Amino acid sequence: MANKVQRIGFIGISGRGSSMLDLLLQVEGVKVPAVCDLVVERAEKGIEIVEERNNKEYPVKAYLDYKEMFEKEELDAVVIATTWITHSRIAVDAMRAGLHVAMEVGGAASIEECWQLVRTSEDTGKICMLLENCCYDRNEMAVFNMVRKGLLGEIIHLEGGYRHDLRDEISLGRENIHGRLFNFMMRNGELYPTHQLGPIAKLIGINRGNRFLTLTSVSSKSKGLNVWIKENKGEDYDLYGTDFNCGDVTTTIIKCANGETITLNHDCCLPRPYSRDYMVQGTKGIYEEAPDGYGRIYIEGQSEKQHEWDSFKTWREKYEHPLWQAYENDGIKAGHGGMDFLVLSAYVDSLNHGSSPIDVYDTAAWMAVTCLSEQSVALGGAPVAFPDFTNGRWIDREPYRTGTYCLNEVCEVSDEHKEK
């Protein structure tokens, strides 16, 4: 039986939102009859994107108020790609309106916000999925496959981060209507934790037999944005001399119930090439991200030379995740190397089957890192306890429905997702 066409409203047509909207329209079985943005020009741009992709096969309407869109449109679900601090409140309103939710990534402003997501999803039975695209990155999925096959042994320590020179984007936030600026002005901690925490959490079974226990964070001084503004905008710029609260580099350490440790780095205000610093270390070997796009790996007794790195290229070819094997055969879509299309496809697949590979407990736990990090930084790096958003069910929760987009184990691609 063919899956029903999912009617999805799209909220937030910024630069990121517009690219995600265009990709969503390329997922089979999707209609976007309504778009929403506070800025008229962006809302109108949303109409243009939909009409260009659907060749005007169905009408699309733009809204400036998402609640009005909920009331007037017959929707099954929404995608939220607004500024970070609005994600959760829109998600809660959407679930209460009877809609499934997918949210773009970002950290939470409070633990209560995370609990609201959990309680509302539980009360309404609606999906609340964080669109963490890095869970579907090609290298991360190949490493996941190797770990599940036991090649790295028992996992002991993991590292990752968001190391991205965003000085121009942050400093020009007012001109470009980008909310990142105000987070760096007002907050101090791990502001953007989920890009590497997501793959790490799935690798070690967080919320399904394991959980985060404690977190400690420290932040450096803040100088990078001030230097960039002085050198690129001058003393007449209104942000010249601003005291940015967020340290240039924040380091966070998380301890897990099963004994693993995780180190995260947030680094967006200094000159550097982009990196997520993904590292997985076990009793039999280690994988590290590297600038060549593949990474490097050492497997004791299997690597070419003792105590010397192998390129991950040949290992990835051997242990390519089945999803990426099928994806390459079908034709990789744009969007951060293809992972954007996969996470959106996973969401649509979830709407068809009633459960998501990144569920509300994952969403809450990953987003909570930001506000817990702020607490720890404010306390001089003191450890803070992680809430258990599953209320003890992490110990023996039933596994996620197996299928093409499963992130708990390696599954073969189902027939409905193979190229016809």
Per-residue pLDDT tens digits for 288-300: 999 999 999 999 9
Could you tell me the pLDDT band of residue 192, with boundaries at 50, 70 and 90?
very high
Greater pLDDT, 332 or 36: 36
- The set of residues, in sequence order, having a beta carbon less than 8 Å from that of 391 and lying 6+ positions away, is none
User: pLDDT tens-digit profile of 54-95?
Assistant: 878 899 999 999 999 999 999 999 999 999 899 999 999 999
The pTM of the full predicted model, rounded to 2 decimals, is 0.96
Query: What does the pLDDT read at residue 276?
Result: 95
Percent of the chain residues past pLDDT 70, beyond the cut:
98
Report the run of H or E that residue 168 belongs to, with start and end.
helix 167-171
CA gap 403, 345 in Å, rounded: 12
Query: What does the pLDDT read at residue 420?
Result: 32
User: Which residues, listed in sequence order, are joined to residue 251 by a DSSP beta bridge?
Assistant: 218, 265
What DSSP string describes 36-56?
E-SSHHHHHHHHHHHHHHHTT
User: pLDDT tens-digit profile of 308-326?
Assistant: 999 999 999 999 999 999 9
Domain boundaries, the chain: 6-132, 134-417
Mean pLDDT rounded to a whole number for the chain: 95
Query: What does the pLDDT read at residue 416?
Result: 60
Same fold, 6-132 and 134-417: no
134-417 CATH fold: Dihydrodipicolinate Reductase; domain 2 (3.30.360)
- The set of residues, in sequence order, having a beta carbon less than 8 Å from that of 127 and lying 6+ positions away, is 77, 100, 101, 102, 121, 350, 351, 354, 355, 356, 359, 360
Query: What does the pLDDT read at residue 419?
Result: 43
Q: Name the residue type at position 374.
A: E
User: pLDDT tens-digit profile of 195-233?
Assistant: 999 999 999 999 999 999 999 999 999 999 999 999 999
Query: What does the pLDDT read at residue 302?
Result: 97
Find out if CATH 3.40.50.720 is the number for domain 6-132: yes
